[in-house]
Amino acid sequence: MTTFDNHEEPMVIIVGGGPGGLATSACLNKLCIPNLILEKEDCYSPMWKKYSYDRVHLHLAKQFCQLPYIPFPSSSPTYIPKKQFIQYLDDYVTHFNITPFYKRKVEFAKFDEFTKKWNVKVRNGNSDEMEEYFCKFLVVATGEASYPFTPDVPGLASFTGDAFHSTQYKNGEKYKGKNVLVVGCGNSGMEIALDLANNGANTSIIVRSPMHLISREMGYLGLMLLKYKVAYTVVDTIMVMLSKLMYGDVSKYYGVKRPEEGPFACKIKYGKYPVFDVGTYRKIKSGEIQVLPAMKSIRGNDVVLENGKIHQFDGIVFATGFKRTTHNWLQGDDYLLNEDGLPKPEFPQHWKGKNGLYCVGLSRRGLYGIAFDAQNIATHINSLLSK
């Protein structure tokens, strides 16, 4: 096991090199607090650099998505495309001289009551050796989207076409004229279905859960109202009213109703984002994208649905979300994070645990929440070190 001498010990270890980890490191660097990012992949922000589809844009306006201290250029579009966001992250890392350790998978972290430090054990993906680190403060920055989740559908192994998680999808060019099923009706699923249809695929999408459908402009209005302290219950009422005016009865096309609670309530309470419509609704309404009920099983190229009907597909894209595995390696924390890796304390105190433990980017508030968390964490650590 490789260990590090005291003079090499970082004051803060940040687990995860996504936007949350980068923002926290930047805020600490600005205060001259030594820190180290441990990232399990071979690059920072791998969800954007390696596991996002080509046409993805930030769904929220750029002023709600910028990281601390560096705004987006005024010349950039309101809704930032993937390529520009990655360039923004590259510039951010360079500006703040952020240098993560890559291919470092944390397998154990526990606070030592005797030394008053966190003991962190890490698997080096290059050498397969275990490395041991010690630090005064530990930040969980593994994000809401940690490990892709694919449901265990009976017969999936027998499927003879392409079947993969949405993190492996880039574009629909090679599926022109083919029958493709998208499983999942969140923002990724809806936009991937749109991309497939635009590329000439015969596209179907499985919709099971109630959802709120809003436009980007509605989302912008909602966030502006929240920014000016309008109660989210009032904002939700406005969002639902506008959605009904624009989209009508969505159950006619999606087969599901709107949730009883409003879009911001669903986001805050359950982490369920509203669907930002970027053209999918029109294609579903016209019949270019077919909506199907839940999947029951798979037999070869046949997909058996819960209503008993059978459809044949050449490809299946599972836009079925992610799981977090923090509980597998974080030991002794019974205060900050639950079994699902999300904060137990209510917003806005969700980011601060005990014994120097923090979390960033887990408040279900996207990049806007990341900036809030990162600045709070750095300020709090600095106050403790200044005593």
110-137 pLDDT per residue, tens: 999 999 999 999 999 999 999 999 999 9
CB 195 within 8 A of CB 172: yes
pTM check: above 0.85: yes
Helix axes 366-385, 19-30, angle to 10 degrees: 30
Q: How many CB atoms lie within 10 A of CB 17?
A: 27
pLDDT along the chain (387 residues), means of 10: 55 98 98 97 97 94 96 95 98 98 98 96 96 97 91 96 97 97 95 98 94 94 92 94 93 86 87 91 94 95 95 97 93 93 92 97 90 98 93
pLDDT for 185-243, tens place per residue? 999 999 999 999 999 999 999 998 889 999 999 999 999 999 899 998 999 999 999 99
State the amino acid at position 307 in one-letter form.
Answer: N
Closest CA to 358 of 38, 12, 108: 12
